[in-house]
Amino acid sequence: MTGLPDVVPDPALPAAVTIWEVGPRDGLQNEPTAVPTEVKVELIRRLVAAGLRTVEATSFVRPEWVPQLADAEQVVAALEPVGEVRYPVLVPNARGLDRALALGVRDVAVFASATETFSRRNLNRGLAEADAMFAPIVARARTEGLRVRGYLSMCFGDPWEGRVPVEQVVAAGLRLLAMGCDQLSLGDTIGVGTPGHVGALLTAFEAAGVPAASIGVHFHDTYGQALANTLAALRHGVTTVDASAGGLGGCPYAKSATGNLATEDLVWMLDGLGIRTGVDLGALVSTSTWLAARLGRPSPSRVVRALSGGEEPS
């Protein structure tokens, strides 16, 4: 590895950012074949060793829906406690929460939609039905002392419905927060958002009484906008950013949802801005190079390719 960015701080930006690493769940769920359990566990261990403190481990989804995550119990059971490290899991329904609670999971997430069409395609339920399903799940999780994140997909555009009005996204987000979600992650599921759109949406949430501290952002790089959109979110006070090691992943229920923001690309930008993440970029690049070798293809991350000398997986 050669080279690190020059550090030129911007006083208008947050001093520190929490990276919500989604690679082991969102990154691997879209692989054409299942990744061995031992590789998933080793990936999570390496990510933690690189300094990431929130690593989304898996989803307790029914195996026939996402067979790549059929080993959720085995993955969670193999994870060792490490300081303040959090291993959130996705719980799509009440049964998923039961499975998570049985393993002592302390952080869960639910995955909702800002649009009716995607909700029906992803959950087989409309928005009202999905809210009715999630409300008791969130309530029970909070009663059990768990932290709950609410993912909100299709916040910037929907491949079936097209433009998604800002007020529609805010209304959906407010419903998740009213259920008891601790944090709301705004997803640009198909990567069509632009910085001005990001600013408009965050301004609308602020006007609705939702502080930036309660919001995370989840950008896809389909149109090359993920870093620009992240910077726009930081300028609005957001301090939690979702990213996937090596840029892996997307949503299996939306074919145009390609390319999560690569964690390495994000860390390079944040390091250059003097924003603390606690992440060792060299160790992270080594981890994604190691994973690429096991997946049999090079990492999509530009930073991984640049700092690993463009090495092909072996």
3-state secondary structure the chain: CCCCCCCCCCCCCCCECEEEECHHHHHCCCCCCCCCHHHHHHHHHHHHHCCCCEECCEECCCCCCCHHHCCHHHHHHCCCCCCCCECCEECCCHHHHHHHHHCCCCEEEEEEECCHHHHHHHHCCCHHHHHHHHHHHHHHHHHCCCEEEEEEECCCCECCCECCCHHHHHHHHHHHHHHCCCEEEEEECCCCCCHHHHHHHHHHHHHCCCCHHHEEEEEECCCCCHHHHHHHHHHCCCCEEEEEHHHCCECCCCCCCECECEHHHHHHHHHHCCCECCCCHHHHHHHHHHHHHHHCCCCCCHHHHHHCCCCCCC
> How many alpha carbons lie under 13 Å from residue 182 in its C-beta half-sphere?
13
Q: What is the pLDDT of residue 47?
A: 98
Please check whether residue 113 is in contact with residue 142, taking contact to mean a CB–CB distance below 8 angstroms: no
% of the chain residues with pLDDT over 90: 87
Residue type at 223 in one-letter notation:
Y
Residue closest to 156 by CA, chosen among 226, 87, 90: 226
Average pLDDT across the chain, whole number: 93
What is the number of other CB atoms lying within 10 angstroms of the CB of residue 124?
9
What is the number of other CB atoms lying within 10 angstroms of the CB of residue 53?
18
Q: Could you give the domains of the chain?
A: 18-307 (3.20.20.70)
pLDDT in tens, 147-197: 999 999 999 999 999 999 999 999 999 999 999 999 999 999 999 999 999
Range in 44-53, 95-104, 281-290, 294-303 with the lowest mean pLDDT? 294-303
% of the chain residues with pLDDT over 70: 95
Q: What is the pLDDT of residue 302?
A: 93
Task: Indicate the pLDDT class of residue 252, thresholds 50, 70 and 90.
Answer: very low
Question: Residue 259 region, left (φ>0) first, then alpha (ψ -120 to 50), else beta?
Answer: left
Q: Is residue 155 flagged as an active site residue?
A: no
Residue closest to 170 by CA, chosen among 138, 210, 199: 210
pLDDT beyond 60 at 251 = no
> What residues contact 27, with CB distance under 8 A and at least 6 apart?
244, 245, 246, 248, 249, 260
What is the number of other CB atoms lying within 10 angstroms of the CB of residue 156?
26
pLDDT beyond 80 at 11 = yes
pLDDT beyond 70 at 250 = no
Catalytic residue among 105, 251, 262, 281: 251
